[in-house]
Homo-oligomer: A and B are copies of this chain.
């Protein structure tokens, strides 16, 4: 993170958003989206996942998007990988950051990735070895994302001890850092704090800096406040809350990038993002996916009269 920002907003819409909807966005439109969002000041974007195109055809063009995104100065280009084969491709493409998800709920892990914890940790070890062989200037950061860390729709509550053990196991297997993911939208602010502190106690503060929150039960930004309070500094979000459009209106998935940026900038925390420019990016996504639900309270209500963002104030200093 550069020193000119207080919180890093990591856009995951092109990956988490698009994989959650059935329709395909054209590669051209994805490039426009990524370019426009980077131009608005977003410093990190997860542009896709190196997953089988048969499984998730929506993300089949990830390699091309990485190539495009790497031409944008200052942008950290992140990608998800489900396995060793995906990591090979990600490294070949030159991504800056590789994230592998490990579901704390083993039932969920078996159902989603068809792998036990032991199998997945073995894969992590092999990927870590692969990454170590990449010459330093091109070597990507390697994050293990602890999904269902706040509870599982199949298993229910997930013991904190299990999250901590798997965080330690991921670090021991060679990850550079771990991340907490509230995949199911079960998390609450008290849990965000206690889980972060517990993982920090086990793996060290610098190895957990980011959190991935969902807004399924409307608690997304409340959880962000707790995350900021405890000292986390990277927050994932999806433009327009893309991907959270089940039949029930309002039951969105990822937290909405625009609402998150408004929260942070209003609180005096610099994101480096121009919120007006960011809000305008919605049109690109909406035009690319006509009729698709886009969420966002700030987009609906508009900015407060006389609103000046922290990033703008800093520029005027």
Residue numbers of A with Cβ under 8 A of B are 151-157, 184-186, 188-191, 215-219, 221-222, 224-226, 229, 248-252, 256, 259, 262-263, 266-268, 295-298, 300-301, 304-306
Given contacts A151-B306, A185-B301, A222-B224, 4 further A-B contacts (CB under 8 A): A155-B305, A219-B297, A221-B222, A250-B300
Residue on B nearest A304 in the bound complex, by CB: B186
A221 to B226, CA, bound (A): 11
**Contact yes or no, A153 B305, CB < 8 A:** yes
Residues of B within 8 A of A297 (CB): 215-219, 250-252
Residue on B nearest A189 in the bound complex, by CB: B225
Residues of B within 8 A of A219 (CB): 221, 259, 262-263, 266, 297
**Contact yes or no, A263 B189, CB < 8 A:** yes
20 A-B residue pairs with Cβ-Cβ distance under 8 Å, sorted by A, are A155-B305, A156-B305, A184-B304, A185-B301, A189-B267, A191-B266, A191-B267, A215-B297, A216-B297, A217-B262, A217-B297, A218-B259, A218-B262, A219-B259, A219-B263, A221-B222, A248-B300, A248-B301, A250-B296, A252-B297
- Copies per complex? 2
A156 to B305, CA, bound (A): 5
A190 to B267, CA, bound (A): 5
Query: A45 to chain B: closest CB distance in Å?
Result: 22
Residues of B within 8 A of A306 (CB): 151, 156-157
Contacts A188-B267, A267-B190; A250 near B295 (Cβ below 8 A): yes
Query: A256 to chain B: closest CB distance in Å?
Result: 7
**Contact yes or no, B221 A263, CB < 8 A:** no
Select which of B155, B217, B301 is within 8 A of A216 by beta carbon.
B301
Residues of B within 8 A of A185 (CB): 301
A97 to B216, CA, bound (A): 36
**Contact yes or no, A251 B218, CB < 8 A:** no
Query: A53 to chain B: closest CB distance in Å?
Result: 31
**Contact yes or no, B189 A305, CB < 8 A:** no
Residue on B nearest A225 in the bound complex, by CB: B225
**Contact yes or no, A263 B184, CB < 8 A:** no
**Contact yes or no, B217 A218, CB < 8 A:** no
Residue on B nearest A293 in the bound complex, by CB: B249
